[in-house]
């Protein structure tokens, strides 16, 4: 196994040492141990996967649309955020009108308006814009690939244009966070005059902005120490009265190692940890901490390569791998903290579609398929999987991948695990299996969200989302799938779109471009002092509505 990740113990020590200076006694401070090995970017478009959106995106910024995270009992849905309403043009379904929320201010006091929306679209789409930032493109455009332009109609109205009819756009826009153009301009003005190259000036302005960000969200960023900590304070002037924070300060700490996170929680150095060590769950509970979990729209998979020479080109091997995993045993290994998948969505989901291939544990059927494909114990199929030691939604990647390594050996798979730093894996997810940074892997282990059609299915099966456009890492796709996707995208009524998506999901499961291993339930452990916690059926969670004793 190749190991190329940060020394988590050292990182944990640095992060926890930074807590030595106590906050004022009257201040309500929430300290969070993340799975990320570094602070997600704070300039408005976070990296570190959706853990970045969870902890430096949603708390500090808003999109035109957002997620309803107020219920633990029903699926999260898209709701108005900085836009109050939207509609697609009846005659030209590539044009959308968004009405903006009046009276909203950025943290620096400047107004949110249509000009700000146009500016924020251009920061990732217009290479000629003075504030264009290539570093934000990958984590934004790959999540909304059809958006092309934004045009101001009036101060509170914008027109957005897509490259093709796309009923998914309002969902995709939850990933485009709005930052203050005026605040960025102030950072640009502070760049020394000796820096004359416009691109370099813009880059330095964005770096300065990240250290002192300005959004419209319920928290304001105040202190950034890369790889160590990030602090936010309550925005008491937040536009949504229901989400004005009761917690005064939030401290984010990167603690990539599950045991380090768990130790930090048990010792009282943090109040909340993501993905605690499974074998420590009984001790965490007996020590008075609360463990929250809920089924999430989330898949923990191997995504397979379909490039020339890949052993996964034979569908029998893909079906065999899915049949060779005893997921109930893995569930026990994880202390029950996973769901057993039958596909990217569950059989009770409107996008299910009743696939002909049944994902289950049947080692005999798996070995039969592998034998038919020409493999045996003496001649196993060599598989190289690119994975990480931690990261957003990665659950417990090392023990889970080692479990798969052993389980698949029974069915004539010889699995090599290549473990590198999480952000490098996440970046290669967009670069693709053909890129040298894939390191010869023919499978990649990156978890993905299934709360919207593009995230759940389209980006993995469309020929239009081959790298570097989006996350079709393995180059899976053909005219049949493109046609199924076009049908779903161009269907704007809910029931019709669900039916089209069910047809797409059915064919995805049958063709098996993934090894579906688990659905996450998002386990997080918190001090009993943290109140008002709602663990939604979502990858995200709302800190703004919580309080501290």
The pLDDT tens digits of the residues spanning 489-532 come to 999 999 999 999 999 999 999 999 999 999 999 999 999 999 99
Residue 6 has pLDDT above 50, yes or no: no
pLDDT number for residue 25: 56
pLDDT number for residue 476: 98
Residue 415 has pLDDT above 80, yes or no: yes
Residue 19 has pLDDT above 60, yes or no: no
Cα 68 from Cα 110, distance rounded (Å) = 26
Nearest to 298 by CA among 50, 3, 92: 50
Q: Which helix or strand (DSSP H or E) is residue 96 part of?
A: strand 95-100
Lookup: tokens for 543: 């800190």
Residue 371 has pLDDT above 70, yes or no: yes
Q: Confidence class of residue 450 from pLDDT cuts 50, 70 and 90?
A: very high
Q: Which helix or strand (DSSP H or E) is residue 2 part of?
A: strand 2-4
The Cβ of residue 224 has, within 10 Å, a number of other Cβ atoms equal to 18
Residue 2 has pLDDT above 50, yes or no: no
Residue 193 has pLDDT above 80, yes or no: yes
* Section 218-231 average pLDDT: 96
- Cis before 468 (ω within 30): yes
Q: Confidence class of residue 75 from pLDDT cuts 50, 70 and 90?
A: confident
Three-class secondary structure of residue 85 per DSSP: strand
3-state SS of 166-200? CCCHHHHHHHCCCCCHHHHHHHHHCCCCCCCCHHH
DSSP designation for 308: T
pLDDT number for residue 143: 87
User: Is residue 402 packed enough to be buried (19+ CB in 10 Å), middle (13-18) or exposed (0-12)?
Assistant: middle
Percentage of residues in the chain having pLDDT higher than 90: 91
Cα 57 from Cα 46, distance rounded (Å) = 6
Q: Confidence class of residue 330 from pLDDT cuts 50, 70 and 90?
A: very high
Could you identify the residue written with the tokens 């798996």?
A: 366
| Contact indicator for 517, 330 with CB cutoff of 8 Å | yes
Report how far apart, in Å, the C-alpha atoms of 461 and of each of 230, 456, 539 are.
37, 10, 22
Residue 393 has pLDDT above 90, yes or no: no
Could you identify the residue written with the tokens 């970046």?
A: 427
Residue 187 has pLDDT above 70, yes or no: yes
User: In this predicted model, what pLDDT tens digit does every residue of 279-305 receive, in sequence order?
Assistant: 999 999 999 999 999 999 999 999 999
Cα 264 from Cα 281, distance rounded (Å) = 14
**What is the side-by-side strand order in the sheet with 83-88?**
83-88, 95-100, 157-162, 147-154
Residue 17 has pLDDT above 80, yes or no: no
Residue 431 has pLDDT above 60, yes or no: yes
Q: Which helix or strand (DSSP H or E) is residue 78 part of?
A: strand 78-80
Rounded to 5 degrees, φ, ψ at 2 are -90, 125
Lookup: tokens for 473: 């890492």
Cα 304 from Cα 475, distance rounded (Å) = 9
Residue 43 has pLDDT above 70, yes or no: yes
| Contact indicator for 512, 301 with CB cutoff of 8 Å | no
pLDDT number for residue 138: 83
Positive or negative, the CA dihedral 29, 32, 38, 42 is negative
| Contact indicator for 273, 33 with CB cutoff of 8 Å | yes
54 or 9, higher pLDDT: 54
Q: Confidence class of residue 1 from pLDDT cuts 50, 70 and 90?
A: very low
CA–CA–CA angle 243, 76, 271 (5° rounding): 55
Q: Which of 132-146, 433-447, 449-463, 509-523 comes out lowest in average pLDDT?
A: 132-146
């Amino acid at each position: 196994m190749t190991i190329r990740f940060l020394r988590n113990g050292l990182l944990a020590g640095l992060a926890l040492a930074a807590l030595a200076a106590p906050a004022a006694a009257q201040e309500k401070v929430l300290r969070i141990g993340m799975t990320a090995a570094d602070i997600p970017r704070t300039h408005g478009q976070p990296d570190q996967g959706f853990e970045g959106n969870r902890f430096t995106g949603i708390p500090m910024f808003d999109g035109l649309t957002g997620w309803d995270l107020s219920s633990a009992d029903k699926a999260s849905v898209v709701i108005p955020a900085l836009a109050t309403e939207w509609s697609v043009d009846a005659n030209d379904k590539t044009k959308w009108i968004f009405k903006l929320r009046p009276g909203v201010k950025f943290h620096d006091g400047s107004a949110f308006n249509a000009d700000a929306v146009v500016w924020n679209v251009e920061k990732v789409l217009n290479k000629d814009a003075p504030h264009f930032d290539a570093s934000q493109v990958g984590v934004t455009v790959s999540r909304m690939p059809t958006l092309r332009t934004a045009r101001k109609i009036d101060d509170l109205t914008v027109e957005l244009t897509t490259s093709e009819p796309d009923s998914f756009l309002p969902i995709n826009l939850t990933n485009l966070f709005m930052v203050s153009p005026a605040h960025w301009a102030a950072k640009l003005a502070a760049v020394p005059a000796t820096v004359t190259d416009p691109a370099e000036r813009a880059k330095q302005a964005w770096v300065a902005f990240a250290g002192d960000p300005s959004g419209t969200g319920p928290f304001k960023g105040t202190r950034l120490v890369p790889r160590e900590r990030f602090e936010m304070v309550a925005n008491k002037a937040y536009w949504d009265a229901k989400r004005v924070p009761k917690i005064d300060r939030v401290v984010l700490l990167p603690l990539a190692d599950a045991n380090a996170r768990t130790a930090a929680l048990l010792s009282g150095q943090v109040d909340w940890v993501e993905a605690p060590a499974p074998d420590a769950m009984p001790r965490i509970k007996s020590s008075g901490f609360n463990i929250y979990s809920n089924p999430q729209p989330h898949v923990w998979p191997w995504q397979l390569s379909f490039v020339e020479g890949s052993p996964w080109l034979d569908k029998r091997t893909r079906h065999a791998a899915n049949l060779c995993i005893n997921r109930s045993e893995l569930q026990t290994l994880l202390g029950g903290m996973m769901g057993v998948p039958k596909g990217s969505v569950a059989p009770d989901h409107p996008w299910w579609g009743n696939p002909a291939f049944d994902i289950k544990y049947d080692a005999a059927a798996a070995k039969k398929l592998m034998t038919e494909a020409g493999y045996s114990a003496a001649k196993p199929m060599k598989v190289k999987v690119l994975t990480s030691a931690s990261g957003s939604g990665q659950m417990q990647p090392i023990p889970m991948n080692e479990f798969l390594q052993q389980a698949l050996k029974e069915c004539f798979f010889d699995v090599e695990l290549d473990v590198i730093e999480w952000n490098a894996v996440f970046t290669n997810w967009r670069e693709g299996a053909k890129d040298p940074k894939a390191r010869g892997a023919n499978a990649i282990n990156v978890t993905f969200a299934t709360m919207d059609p593009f995230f759940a299915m389209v980006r993995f099966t469309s020929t239009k989302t081959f790298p570097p456009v989006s996350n079709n890492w393995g180059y899976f796709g053909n005219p049949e799938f493109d046609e199924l996707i076009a049908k779903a995208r161009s269907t704007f009524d809910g029931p019709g779109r669900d039916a089209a998506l069910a047809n797409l999901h059915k064919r995805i499961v049958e063709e098996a471009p993934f090894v579906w291993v688990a659905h996450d339930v998002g386990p997080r452990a918190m001090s009993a002092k943290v109140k008002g916690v709602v663990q939604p059926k979502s990858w995200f969670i709302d800190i703004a509505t919580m309080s501290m004793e």
